[in-house]
Every structure is written in structure tokens, then in C-alpha cells.
Structure 1
């Protein structure tokens, strides 16, 4: 009974994330196809709410791994989830004037490609067995896409800095700290954290492809 509830929950979670990600990707692609570069002006406005919900839901994945509901390494997943939520809610949502920039559109595309490589594979693992294409995408193609995503995150933060200067945004702790300096300090942290994540992804790729090759030999 417990196993069936766990399976149903994971199926529902992965299906929700896959549906949301597919909707965002399709919506963005259709807008760019019909309106060209002019679509980027309001593209975040059109998909931002669904994107925010999907990213907030991704926080549940940390509890999945911590509670052993889902197999995976907690540290790299934590890094990926937190870096996206920080950029999305502090920079993209926090700076409406910045939302029309081209890098925002690029960033959303890369994030959604990453999710489209993950969630279909997760669904197939729950109901049957993933295909060679989805398995390759999940553990091989995802690595260069993730690296490109991190580079785009760095560019997004760098390009957003002047917008924080104009708005004089600040966070009150014991003293007033300008968000601009927090974002600048975050850039080297992003580089180190993403390097750790890539090393984990490469190890995971080797392990999974070894398992996959053994399964193929048995067949």
C-alpha cells in the first residue's frame, strides 16, 4: 500500500512538472515563431507564473531525496534547485524592466530543456523502462545543456546589475546591504557550485551508462 502511494505521488509530481514545462516551452516557441524577436518583450509575462510554480515545486525534490522517496544525490540537486530559484525570484521577478532582455528568453529555454530531459525519463522509469534516447538525453546531453544554462545564469546576473543600481534595491539585515554586491559575491559561488554539480553529473553518467550497457548485454 505504501509503495503504491509513493508510486502514485511520484507519477503525479513528474507528470505535473512535465506538463508545466511542456506548456512553457510550447508557449515560448509559438510566440517566437509568430512574433519573432518582438515576442521576447512580454514572453516572461506570459510564462512567468507557470515557471514560478514549477520552480517552487522543484523544492519538493530535495525532500524526495532526503526522505529516500527518490534516488539521487542531495548536494547537486540542492545546488541546481537553489540557483534557479534565486535567479528567477531575485533577478527576473524582482526586476520587471529586465524581463524583456534576450538573455531571459535564452535562460528560460535552457531551464526548460533541462527539465524536458529529466521528467520524461523519470516518468518512464516509474512505469516501465526508459528508451535509449531518453536515457542518453538524461545522462549525457543534459551535461552540456546544464553548463550552457550556468553560463547564461552568470550573464543574466551580470546584465541585471545596472537595473539594481537604478532601483536602489536593498536588503535590511543589521546594516543595509545593496543587492548588487550580493549578486557579485554570488557569481564565484555559482562557478564553484556548478563545477561540483558537473563532476557529480559525470560520475552519475558513467555509473548509469555502465548499468545500461550491462542490461543490453544480458538481452
Structure 2
């Protein structure tokens, strides 16, 4: 039966799937074609589409709150904030954009979304399969952990460049040597806390979804 709500969520997830497919393909093809030379401007080449996809991901919080998408709100909130804040940092601290870790970070981000959005598209169509459910709730967790690790390295690089820029502008003070460690400690602590909570909730969700799928298969 046709539903405007289902049509909307289908189109949203399909758009995100196409966007992240393009992003991953562009990143991989550029690296295979140009090698390490591609690292210098890979972020610049995908920044607009990545920013658009991540900005639209804020809508997912409303999807969950409204009941259009069945998912936990807290871990999705952490993920949306995490990605958007990191992306904003990359845009503002342009010297970090050419670092290899940024390309790895983008790769993991797109892999995560290419596990989730096709799953949501097929869920709306009621055409899920056991391998897709398993991949969505099992592979997603280690890839997310790796993405958080790359985000930590990116934050470290950004803090280094911010400190360098402050020094070059003559903004050094007696507390400058401890400024960077404090910023890093706060940023990395927040990142680690949010990631740990997300992984814990994801493990609970994985157990629930796999048990639910097993029961569904038995009924058939």
C-alpha cells in the first residue's frame, strides 16, 4: 500500500546510498589512478557532496523521533554530531585535508553508510536477506571502531596545525605548551566516550536484531 511517509524515507535512503556510492567510488578511483598524488586534493573533490550528505543526515534524528525509522536515537545523535563536527573541523583547518589519514577516514565513513543505507532501502521494500542483516549489524561495529581511530588521528593533526598557526600569529603565551594537550585530552575523551557508548548500544541492537530475524525465519 502506497504511503507518503514510506515513499519519503525510501527516497531519502536511496539518495544517501547513491551519494555515498559516488563518494567511495571517487575516492578509490582517484587513489588508484593518481596514487599518493591524489591525497592532496581528494577531500576538496568530494567536500561538497560529503557536506551535503552529512548535513542531510541531521534529518535522521527527526525520522527516529517521528517513528519513520526504527532505530535508537542516542547512538545516531552521537554519530551525526561526530561526523558533522569532524567535517566542519576539516573545512576550517584546511592544512589537514591533504593528510593520508583523512582519505582513510572518508573511506571508513562511506563504508559505514554503505552498510546502513542499502539496508534501510531494502527494509522499506520488505526485501531484507539474512546476509544483509548480518552485515548491517556485525560488520558495522568494527568498521565504526576503525573510523573512530582515524578521527582521533585527524583531531591530533588539526590540534597541531592550530597551535602552529597561533604561534605564527604571535599568540603564544606562557600556557601555550599545555594548551594543545588540554584540547586533545578533552576532544579525544569526548570522542572515546561517545564511541564506547555507541559500540555498546550497537552490540545490544545487534543481538536484538539477529534474534528477531532468527525468530522470523523460524515462523516461515
The TM-score with structure 1 as length reference comes to: 0.90
* Distance across 2 between alignment mates of 1:31 and 1:135: 31
Whether 1:63 and 2:86 are equivalent positions in the alignment is no
Equivalent pair of 2:55/2:84 in contact (CA under 8 Å): yes
Greater shift, 49-58 or 152-161, is seen at 152-161
What residue is the counterpart of 1:208 in the other structure?
A: 209
CA offsets per residue over residues 3-58 of structure 1, 9 Å max, x none?
71101110110011001000000101110111111111110011011000000000
CA drift of 1:131 comes to 1.8
Instruction: Return the offset for 1:64.
Output: 0.8
Hey, what does 2:10 align to over in structure 1? 11
Q: Which blocks of at least 5 consecutive residues in structure 2 are unaligned? A: 168-178
Instruction: Provide the aligned length of Structure 1 versus Structure 2.
Output: 209
Offset of 1:182 from its aligned partner?
4.5
User: In the alignment, what sits opposite 2:137?
Assistant: 139
> Separation in 2 of the partners of 1:214 and 1:12?
29
1:103 match: 101
1:98 and 1:142 map into 2 onto residues whose CA distance is 26
The equivalent residue for 2:86 is 87
Segments ≥4 residues shifted beyond 3 Å: 179-184
Matches of 2:145 and 2:122 in 1, distance apart?
25
| Structure 2 CA distance for partners of 1:184 and 1:94, relative to 1, 3 Å | farther
State the partner residue of 1:174.
none
1:56-109 per-position Cα deviation (integer Å, ceiling 9, x unaligned): 00000011111222111111000011011111112x111111100000000000
Contact persistence 2:159–2:183 (CA under 8 A):
no
